[in-house]
Amino acid sequence: MSDETPVCSAKGCRADAVWVLAWNNPKLHTPERRKTWLACDEHREHLSQFLGVRGFLKDVVPLTEWESARTG
């Protein structure tokens, strides 16, 4: 196994990531650019809110969907 299991981006959380939060900070990034955070089920809400109140959040997709979209 060379693949690392993606882990939740929440501070101190080591749970497997289930969600991808795609976001963009218009002050730092071009509009097409997507930064990503990973989230477990428990932290999806929390992290979404963090980005949402700043107006950064663009998309929340299941990790499996995100990966299959990237690899085709």
Signed CA dihedral, 60, 55, 49, 14: sign only: positive
Segments of 1-72 assigned E as strands = 19-23, 35-39, 57-62
Name the residues that contact Zn ion, by CB under 5 A: 8, 10, 13, 15, 40, 43
Minimum distance from residue 14 beta carbon to Zn ion (Å):
8
In the bound state with Zn ion, the residue whose beta carbon lies nearer, of 40 and 57, is 40
In the bound state with Zn ion, the residue whose beta carbon lies nearer, of 21 and 24, is 21
In the bound state with Zn ion, the residue whose beta carbon lies nearer, of 15 and 61, is 15
Closest CA to 33 of 22, 42, 44: 22
Minimum distance from residue 15 beta carbon to Zn ion (Å):
5
